[in-house]
């Protein structure tokens, strides 16, 4: 696939860069409404014959048919709403049914052990799916001082991402407001399944 350009000051393999790019793309899509630049990027995506590649091609096709305003409205319907959106993309909600519960405290403890702090500009809690994917992206590229080992990435993924992200992406695929985000849900679900299997093989 053609992906968001990334570089790292550390020696990171092309495979790891590809992982980081996909985490970054999903984080950006799930963290804020797409702007013109992102929508143009989505339209330029090229897939392949793999299920994930087909998902990326589908995302590109839908992006080509929607305006920035339509995508922003979809984002609002899904994640913001008048009172709340159709989905609540937070780990605590998916794991306990409530916001700001024990899973968030456990996540903050894991972040502290890894030397990862919350951004001063962050408006969401750390267990928002976009925040977690930004953390995974940063661990791969060494944004927190040095690349985090695969073993530590796997532990963080298993404890704080895999526990609920697949269910979230399944819900996103099926959400009544989802047009662009139906493909985002498909890509996210497939990527999480691939990551889970890859980590198990590497462990």
118-146 pLDDT, tens digit each: 877 778 999 999 999 999 999 999 988 88
pLDDT at 4 over 70: no
Tokens of 6: 């990334």
Task: Say what the pLDDT of residue 8 is.
Answer: 54
Residue by residue, what is the 3-state secondary structure of the chain? CCCCCCCCCCCCCHHHHHHHHHHHHHHHHHHCCCCHHHHHHHHHCCCCCCHHHHHHHHHHHHHHHCCHHHHHHHHHHHHCCCCCCCCCCEHHHHHHCCCCCHHHHHHHHHHHHCCCCCCCCCCCCCCEHHHHHHHHHHHHHCCCCCCCCHHHHHHHHHHHHCCCHHHHHHHHHHCCCCCHHHHHHHHHHHHHHHHHHHHHHHC
What mean pLDDT do residues 68-77 have? 98
For the chain, what is the mean pLDDT? 92
**Percentage above 90 pLDDT, the chain:** 77
Statement: residue 202 has pLDDT above 90: no
Tokens of 167: 């269910």
pLDDT at residue 1 greater than cutoff 50 = no
Determine if residue 88 is left, alpha or beta; phi over 0 gives left, psi from -120 to 50 gives alpha, anything else beta: beta
Q: pLDDT > 70: what percent of the chain?
A: 95
d(CA 88, CA 194): 24
203 or 193, which is more confident? 193
Q: Each residue of 15-52: pLDDT tens digit? A: 999 999 999 999 999 999 999 999 999 999 998 999 99
What would be the CATH architecture of the domain defined by 14-202? Orthogonal Bundle (1.10)
Q: What is the distance in angstroms between the CA of the first residue and the CA of the last residue of the chain?
A: 27
Contact 106, 159 (CB under 8 A): yes
């Amino acid at each position: 696939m053609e992906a968001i350009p990334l570089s790292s000051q550390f020696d990171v393999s092309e495979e790891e860069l590809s992982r980081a790019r996909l985490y970054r793309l999903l984080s950006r899509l799930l963290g804020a409404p797409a702007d013109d630049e992102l929508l143009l990027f989505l339209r330029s995506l090229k897939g392949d014959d793999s299920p994930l590649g087909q998902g990326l091609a589908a995302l590109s096709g839908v992006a080509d048919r929607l305006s920035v305003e339509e995508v922003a409205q979809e984002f609002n319907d899904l994640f913001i709403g008048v009172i709340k959106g159709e989905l609540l993309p937070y780990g605590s909600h998916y794991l306990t049914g409530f916001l700001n519960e024990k899973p968030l405290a456990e996540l903050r403890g894991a972040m502290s052990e890894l030397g990862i702090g919350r951004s001063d500009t962050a408006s969401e809690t750390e267990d928002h799916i976009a925040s977690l994917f930004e953390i995974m992206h940063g661990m791969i590229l060494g944004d927190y001082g040095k690349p985090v080992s695969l073993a530590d990435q796997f532990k963080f993924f298993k404890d704080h991402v895999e526990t609920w992200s697949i269910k979230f992406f399944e819900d996103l695929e099926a959400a009544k407001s989802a047009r662009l985000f139906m493909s985002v849900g498909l890509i996210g679900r497939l990527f999480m399944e691939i990551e889970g299997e890859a980590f198990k093989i590497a462990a």
